[in-house]
Amino acid sequence: MRLFSIAKSFFQSLFRRRQVDAELDDELRSTIDLLADEKVNEGMLPEEARRAARIELGGVEQVKEKVRAVRAGAWLATLLQDVRFGLRMLRKNPGFTAVAVLTLALGIGTTASMFTIVDGVILKSLGYSHAERIVTIDTHWTDSHPTIHSVTGGDLEDIRDASGCFDTFSFYDGGEFGVQLAHSAEFVGIYEVDPEFFNVFQVPPLAGRAFVASDTGGVAVVSLGFALRNFGSASAALGQTAKIDTTAYQIVGVMPPSFQFPRQAQMWAAVSPVPQNKNRTSYNYHAIARLQSAKSLAVVNARLLSIANRLAAAFPDSNRDKTFTAVPLQQELGAPVRSTLLILLGAVGLVLLIACANVANLMLARSAGRRRELALRAVLGAGKTRLILQLLSEGMILALAAGLVGIALAMLGTRALLALGAKFLPAPLLGDIHFDWRVLAFAVAVTFLTSILFGIAPAYCATRVNLQDAIRQGGSHGTLGASRSRLRDSLVVSQIALALLLAVSATLLFRTMLALRSAALGYRTQGILVAYAHAPARTLLEALGAGRFFDSLFARLRETPGVISVAGAMGMPAGQYGSNGGFAIEGKQKWCGDGPGCDYRTYPHAIFALASPRYFATMSIPLTRGREFNDADLYDSPFVAIVSESLARQYFPNEDPIGHRIFCGFDATGKWMTVVGVVGDVRQDSPAAQPGPELYMPVRQHPYMGNELQVVVRTSGSPEALIPAVQQTIHEMDPDVAMKFTTMQDMVTDSISAQHFRAILAATFATLALLLALSGMYAVMSHVTAQRTAEFGLRSALGAQQANILRLVMGGATRLAIIGVIAGALLSLFAARLISSMLFGVQSLDAFTYALVIAIVLPVVVLAAALPAWRASRVDPMVALRHE
C-alpha cells in the first residue's frame, strides 16, 4: 500500500506534474473560498473577506513549493527542472560555456591520460593469471652495496631447492643477439630460459607447445612477430630451425603478441634447469617464480633470509652480508619509473586544480551578475538548498560536457604520452597501457569531483545574498561584496602560486636536460654510426675467426666513401651492453677470483670494455699517456690493457700506471695484462653518470666476448646515410652476421629518456598551468573593472586622469600577482626537494631558476590585467554614468 502510493506519487510528480499541480491549485483555491465564507459569516464584506482569507493562507506559491518539496520524486523533478534551466543559462552564454568547458576539459583530459599511464604501470595488475604471485628475486647486502636484480647460479639452486615456497621456479638470462635462419640473420632479443619458464606465467602458446621438463636444449619458442616476419605464419614457423652461435634450435611453439617478457624478447631458447655457472659471485641469472597460494610475501622473504644466513655461514667469502628478497614482478618492472610517474600525476593534478579555480572564478563572476535573478527566485519561495542545488547542477552540466571532451582529449593524450615515453616506460608493461573502463571510471569520478570543487564557492556565495540589498542594487552594477571579492582574489592568488610551483619544477627539470645535453661526455657524438653486429661463434676457433672477420670488415668499411674512420668495441658508453667487476693490481692485491682466500668485495672496481685499434681516435676519447691498441695486440701476443684517468688517479696515485700489471675476471681467458696507455674519462651509462674507473682490453685478446661488437663508423656526413652501404658490406662478407643500426646521438638521447620524458611533460603542464593562471587573472580583472564601470565613470567625471584609473586597476592586479608569486616560491621550495634526486647540473634551490621564473611569471600575469585596465581607463564618464 505504502510502496504503491509512493510509486504513484513519484510517477505523478514526474509525468503528471501539471495535473497534480492543478489539483493542488484547486485545493488551495477552495480553501480560500471556505475561509472567505467563514469570514463573511462572521460579518465581513465579501471583498474584504477574500483579501483576509488570502492573507491568512500566506503565499499560495510558497505553500505549493512546500507541498512539492515533500513529495516523493520531488528531488528528481527539481533536478530535471534545474538541468533544463542550467542548459538554458549555458546556452545563453556561449562564450562563458566554451571557455569553462575547454578549461575543465584540458584539466580532465591531461589528468586522465596521465592516469592511464600510472594505471598501466603501477596500479593495474599484470595480465597473467594471479599475477600478484609472480615474483623476481633480488640480491642485496646488509651493508652499503647496491641491490642487484639477479642472482648467482649457486645461490639460485639453493633458493629453488630449499625454500619450499614456490609453485614454479625458473630463471632466464639474455639480451639482444644474432640469430641465423636459412637465408637471413636477425638481431633480436633472445633469452635462455629453463623449461619451467612459461609455467610461471601460465600463458599458453598461440601455436605449437611450450617447454616440457625434458626440453633442456635444442628447442626454442618464438614470438608471433618473429614467426610472421620470417616464416609468414605461426604454424609455418613450427619445426623450422634457427641457429644461435652455430647451435641449432628447433622452433616448437609461438607465443601470442600479448606475452612480452622479458624486455623485447622474440625468442626463448630452452636450457637445462641446472645453471651452467654455479659460482656465487657472477650475477648471471634472473630468477622468476610463482608463489604457492598459501604463502605470503612476508613468509617467503623470511624463508629467503634464513637461506641467506645459512649460505653466509657456509660460504663467507662470497656470501657474507648477502641476502635475497622476493619482489612482486609488477613492482620490479615499475620501480624505475614509479616516482617519476607519481610526481607527474601530482603535477597534472595541480593543473586540474588550477582549471577548477579558473572555472570557479568564472562562475563566481557570473553569479555576481545574477544576484538579482537569484534573489528574485529566493523571494518567490526557492529555499537555500534549492538555489545551491541549482548552481551545483549548472556546474554538473559544465563538468559533464567537459568530461566528454576531456575523455576524447585523454585518448589523444595517452597516445602522445606513449610516443614520448616509448623508450622510458618499461617495455613489458606497454601493452597494459591503454584507455579502458578503469580510466573511464577515473575520468567520471574526476569530473564529478571537479564539478563540486568549482561549484561549491559560487553556491556558497549564493546563500549569502541579502535579498533586499540585491534587489535594490539593481543587479550587476552594485558594489562588490567584500567576502566575494576576497574569495575570488584568493582563487587567483592560488592559481598563480600553483602555476609558479609547476614552472619552477619544470624549469629545474628542463635545465637538467639541457645540462645533460651539454655535459662533457668525454667522447664525440656527432657523425657516428653504430652497428651492433653479431658473428656466430661458439668454439675458440670460431671466436678467433670472428675476430679476424671484424678486422677485415673494419678495413673494407674504411674504403667506403664518406667514412673517416672505423673501429669496434664491446661496452660503448650509453650502449646496451656493459660489464664491470673487481680487478687486482700486481703487487697490491692477490688474485684468487671467486675462489676461496680472497674477499671478492675488497678488490678495486672498474667498468670493463673491449676496444679495437683506433677506437679511441674514432670516438675522440683523448689518449693522455702511452699508446692505443694496435694490430699486433692479438690473442697470442702479451696481454695489454688501457686504463681511464679516473682509474689511474684512484689506484695509482703518485705513480705512472704504464708498465704495471692488472688481472681481472672479465672472461675465462684471464691473464695478467700490462697497462700500455691512459685515456680520458667518459660518462659510461648515460650523460648523468659520474665518470669513473674504466679498464679497456683489446677485442682480439678476448675472443669469447668479441664476437658481438658495436662497429663504430665515423663520417663527415649524416651517419644514417651510411646505413645501406654498411649493411651491404657486412651482408656480402658474411650473410650469417646479424646486425642492427643506431647512431651515437640516438644512443645518448635514449639513455636520458627518463629526464627527457620528465622535462617535456613538466614543461607542458607548467605552460598549461601558466596559461590558465593568465586567463584566470584576465577574467577576474575584466569582471572587476566591468562591475566598477560606474565608479570609474564617476571618478573620471570628478577629474581622475586615465593614468590614475589605470594605476588603480593595475595596482590591484600587481598586489595579487606578488602575493601569488611569493606563495608559489615558498611552495616551490618543497616541490623542488621532492625532485632533487632527478636533477643534474642544477641545484634544487638554484637561485637563477627562481629568479628566471619569477621574472617571467610576474610581468606576464600583471600584463594579463593590462587590457581590462586600459579598457576601464578609457571609459567615457557619460556612458558609464548612464549605464547605471
Partner 1 sequence: MDAEQTNLLQGTLDLVILKALALEEMHGLGISRRIEQITKGTFQVKPGSLFPALHRMEEAGWLSSAWGESENNRRAKYYRLTKTGRRQLGAETKRWSRVSLAIKRALEAS
Stretch of 27-35, 216-224, 397-405, 652-660 contacting partner 1, by CB under 8 A? 27-35
Stretch that binds partner 1, among 52-60, 247-255, 290-298, 329-337 (CB under 8 A): 52-60
Which residues lie closer than 8 Å to 120 by C-beta, 6 or more apart? 429, 430, 432, 433, 434
Give the interface segment with partner 1, choosing from 31-39, 582-590, 660-668, 676-684 (CB under 8 A).
31-39
Among the listed residues 2, 18, 92, 183, the single contact to partner 1 using CB under 8 A: 2
The sign of the dihedral angle between the CA atoms of 741, 745, 746, 748 is positive
Cell triple for residue 406? Answer: 576531456
Out of 21, 31, 299, 452, the only residue in the binding site for partner 1 (CB under 8 A) is 31
Query: Shortest gap between Cβ of 69 and partner 1 (angstroms)?
Result: 7
Is residue 43 helix, strand or coil? coil
What's the CA gap between 155 and 307, in Å, rounded? 9
235 counts as binding partner 1 under rule CB under 8 A: no
1: number of Cβ within 10 Å? 5
| Helix boundaries (H) for 619-739 | 645-651, 723-733
Q: Can you state the angle between helices 847-864 and 482-518, rounded to 10 degrees? A: 140
Q: Does 26 bind partner 1 (CB under 8 A)?
A: yes
In the bound state with partner 1, the residue whose beta carbon lies nearer, of 27 and 655, is: 27
CB 390, min distance to partner 1, A: 21
Shortest Å, Cβ 785 to partner 1: 44
Q: Which of 62, 147, 331, 843 binds partner 1 (CB under 8 A)?
A: 62
Q: To the nearest whole angstrom, how small is the minimum distance from the Cβ of residue 65 to partner 1?
A: 10
Residue 21 binds partner 1 (CB under 8 A): no
Phi-psi region of 218 (alpha: psi -120 to 50; beta: other; left: phi over 0): left
Query: Of the ranges 2-10, 229-237, 462-470, 641-649, which one interacts with partner 1 (CB under 8 A)?
Result: 2-10
Contact 406, 443 (CB under 8 A): yes
Nearer to partner 1, 6 or 313 (CB): 6
Alpha-carbon gap, residue 882 to 867, rounded angstroms: 23
Strand duo 694-698 + 640-644: pairing? antiparallel
Phi, psi for residue 485 in degrees, rounded to 5: -70, -30
Residue 1 is classified by DSSP as -
- CB-based contacts of 441, cutoff 8 Å, min separation 6: none
In what helix (H) or strand (E) does residue 311 lie, and over which residues does it extend? Answer: helix 297-314
State which of residues 14, 44, 67, 79 lies at the interface with partner 1 (CB under 8 A). Answer: 67
Binding partner 1 by CB under 8 A: which of 66, 130, 538, 590?
66
Candidate ranges 4-12, 435-443, 747-755, 774-782; the one touching partner 1 (CB under 8 A): 4-12
Phi then psi for residue 380, to 5 deg, are -80, 10
Instruction: Answer yes or no whether residue 58 interacts with partner 1 by CB under 8 A.
Output: yes
The Cα angle at residue 534 between residues 531 and 538, in degrees rounded to 5 = 160
Candidate segments 67-75, 233-241, 273-281, 322-330, binder of partner 1 by CB under 8 A = 67-75
Cα 469 to the center of its chain, rounded Å? 52
Helix (H, G, I), strand (E, B) or coil at 167: strand
Q: How far is the CB of 61 from partner 1 (least distance, A)?
A: 11
Distance CA 392, CA 403 (A): 16
Q: What is the dihedral of CA 531, 532, 538, 542, to 10 degrees?
A: 10
CB of 447 to partner 1, least distance (A): 34
Among 63, 327, 404, 689, binds partner 1 (CB under 8 A): 63
Q: Which is nearer to partner 1, 57 or 327 (CB)?
A: 57
Residue 70 within binding range of partner 1, rule CB under 8 A:
yes
Q: Which of these ranges, 26-34, 92-100, 573-581, 734-742, lies near partner 1 under the rule CB under 8 A? A: 26-34
Tell whether residue 519 is a contact of partner 1 (CB under 8 A).
no
Q: Would you count residue 771 as binding partner 1 (CB under 8 A)?
A: no
* Gyration radius of the chain's alpha carbons: 38
Distances (CA, A) of 298 to 126, 294, 328, 732: 21, 12, 12, 57
Task: Give the x-and-dash track for 832-871 against partner 1 (CB under 8 A).
Answer: ----------------------------------------
Measured from the CB atom, is 32 or 723 closer to partner 1? 32
Q: Is 384 in the site for partner 1 (CB under 8 A)?
A: no
656 counts as binding partner 1 under rule CB under 8 A = no
Q: How many residues bind partner 1 (CB under 8 A)?
A: 29
Nearest CA-CA partner of 112 in 450, 362, 370, 338: 450
* Cβ pair 835, 482 in contact under 8 A: no
Q: Is 38 in the site for partner 1 (CB under 8 A)?
A: yes
Between CA 748 and CA 574 the distance in angstroms is 6
3-class secondary structure per residue, 392-416: HHHHHHHHHHHHHHHHHHHHHHHHH
Q: Is 438 in the site for partner 1 (CB under 8 A)?
A: no
Least distance (Å) between residue 392 CB and partner 1: 24
**Residue 2 vs 18, nearer CB to partner 1:** 2
Q: Which is nearer to partner 1, 57 or 299 (CB)?
A: 57
Return the SS3 of 581. strand
Q: Which residues fall within 8 angstroms of residue 340, CB to CB, at 6 or more apart?
A: 424, 754, 757, 758, 838
382 near partner 1 (CB under 8 A): no
CB of 80 to partner 1, least distance (A): 20
Distance of CA 800 to the CA centre of its chain: 55
Among residues 22, 34, 248, 855, the one that binds partner 1 under rule CB under 8 A? 34
Q: Does 61 bind partner 1 (CB under 8 A)?
A: no
Shortest Cβ 28–partner 1 spacing (Å): 7
668 in contact with partner 1 (CB under 8 A)? no
- 61-69, 264-272, 304-312, 410-418 -> range binding partner 1 (CB under 8 A): 61-69
Cα–Cα nearest to 210, from 198, 202, 218, 219: 198
* Inter-residue contact 650 to 617 (CB < 8 Å): no
User: 38 or 667, CB closer to partner 1?
Assistant: 38
**419 lies in the binding site for partner 1 (CB under 8 A):** no
Minimum CB separation of residue 82 from partner 1 in Å reads: 21
Query: What minimum distance in Å lies between the beta carbon of 30 and partner 1?
Result: 5
Identify any residues that bridge with 171 across adjacent strands, giving them in sequence order: 287
Which of these ranges, 33-41, 619-627, 656-664, 717-725, lies near partner 1 under the rule CB under 8 A?
A: 33-41
Kindly list the distances between the CA atom of residue 679 and the CA atoms of 37, 522, 647, 674, 776, in Å, as whole numbers in the listed order. Answer: 116, 10, 10, 15, 57
**What are all long-range contacts of 654-659, with beta carbons under 8 Å and residues at least 24 apart?**
656/625, 658/625, 658/626
Q: Which of 71, 372, 438, 556 binds partner 1 (CB under 8 A)?
A: 71
Shortest CB 59 distance to partner 1, Å: 8
C-alpha grid cell for residue 879?
A: 556612458
Pattern of binders to partner 1 over 583-602, x per CB under 8 A? --------------------
Burial grade of 132 (CB within 10 A; 0-12, 13-18, 19 or more): middle
Contacts to partner 1 from residues 72-131, by CB under 8 A: 72
Comparison of 60 and 617: residue with beta carbon closer to partner 1: 60
- Candidates 19-27, 665-673, 724-732, 813-821; binding stretch for partner 1 (CB under 8 A): 19-27
Q: How far is the CB of 48 from partner 1 (least distance, A)?
A: 18
C-alpha cell at 839: 636533477
Binding site for partner 1 (CB under 8 A): 1-2, 4-6, 9, 23-24, 26-28, 30-31, 33-35, 37-38, 56-58, 62-63, 66-67, 69-72
